[in-house]
C-alpha cells in the first residue's frame, strides 16, 4: 500500500466525470488499498478515486456503526443512488478543499446499489452521518464538490 497525492480543488480533474470500473483485478485492489491508506493518513472519513487522480467510479466511506468505538469501511464500486428520502443539513469538509467547511443539504436516508471489490452487486440503505458521507463521496464521481451545495444561513 502507498499514500497517494490528494488532488486539490482548482485542478480540472476534480470536476470531471468518472468512468465505471469494468475490471475487478489487482490494479483495482491496489487503488482501493491506497485510497484507504491515503484517507487514513489525511484523517478523513471518505475518499473518492478522482481525489487520487483516477477518474473511475470507486469510493471509500468510513461509516458509523451501532458501537461508538467501531467504524466500518465500506468500499463502493460503480455506486448508484436508487432512492433518497428526508433531509438533513450539516457542516462538511473535504480532503481536496482544505480549510473550507460549510453547511450542505443532504438526504436523511439513501438506498445505494454498488459493487464490491469482487464485482458482486449489493444494495445498502444508509442514514444520517453515513448518508452524508456516501452522498458526498458519490458526488465526487460526477465532479461535484460539497460547497456547490452550500446552504447559506437565512437572514
Ligand atoms: Co470530498
Give me ligand 1 centre to Cα 64, in Å. 17
Give me ligand 1 centre to Cα 138, in Å. 9
Give me ligand 1 centre to Cα 136, in Å. 6
Residue 96 grid coordinates:
481536496
Predicted confidence band at 155 (pLDDT cuts at 50, 70, 90)?
Answer: low
- Helix/strand/coil for 111: strand
Q: How far, CA to CA in Å, does 129 sit from each of 13, 63, 64, 124?
A: 27, 8, 7, 14
Taking only the tens place, the pLDDT of each residue in 7-33 is: 999 999 999 999 999 999 999 999 999
Predicted confidence band at 1 (pLDDT cuts at 50, 70, 90)?
Answer: confident
Cβ neighbors of 41 (< 8 A, separation 6 or more) are 3
Question: Residue 91: how many CB atoms within 10 A of its CB?
Answer: 11
Q: Which residue matches cell numbers 443532504?
A: 106
Instruction: Please report the pLDDT score of residue 154 as a whole number.
Output: 74
Quote the DSSP letter at residue 19.
B
C-alpha span between 109 and 103 (Å, rounded): 17
Average pLDDT, the chain: 97
Predicted confidence band at 152 (pLDDT cuts at 50, 70, 90)?
Answer: confident
Domains of the chain (ranges, CATH numbers)? 12-149 (3.90.45.10)
Catalytic-labelled residue, pool 62, 75, 92, 137: 137
| Rounded average pLDDT over 90-119 | 98
Sheet with 58-64: list strands edge to edge. 46-48, 58-64, 71-85, 109-115, 121-127
Dihedral-angle region of residue 92 (phi above 0 means left; psi in -120 to 50 means alpha; beta otherwise): beta
Instruction: Please report the pLDDT score of residue 56 as a whole number.
Output: 98
137 in catalytic set? yes
Give me ligand 1 centre to Cα 126, in Å. 18
- Helix/strand/coil for 113: strand
Amino acid at each position: 500500500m502507498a499514500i497517494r497525492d490528494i488532488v486539490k480543488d482548482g485542478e480540472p480533474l476534480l470536476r470531471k466525470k468518472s468512468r465505471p470500473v469494468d475490471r475487478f483485478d489487482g490494479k483495482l485492489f491496489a487503488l482501493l488499498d491506497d485510497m484507504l491508506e491515503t484517507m487514513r493518513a489525511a484523517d478523513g472519513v471518505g475518499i473518492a478515486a478522482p481525489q487520487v487522480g483516477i477518474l473511475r467510479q470507486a469510493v471509500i466511506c468510513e461509516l458509523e456503526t451501532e458501537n461508538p468505538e467501531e467504524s466500518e469501511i465500506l468500499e463502493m464500486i460503480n455506486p448508484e443512488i436508487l432512492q433518497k428520502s428526508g433531509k438533513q443539513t450539516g457542516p462538511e469538509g473535504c480532503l481536496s478543499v482544505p480549510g473550507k467547511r460549510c453547511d450542505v443539504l443532504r438526504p436523511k436516508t439513501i438506498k445505494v446499489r454498488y459493487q464490491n471489490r469482487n464485482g458482486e452487486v449489493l444494495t445498502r440503505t444508509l442514514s444520517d452521518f453515513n448518508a452524508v458521507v456516501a452522498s458526498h463521496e458519490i458526488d465526487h464521481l460526477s465532479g461535484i464538490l460539497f460547497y456547490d451545495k452550500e446552504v447559506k444561513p437565512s437572514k
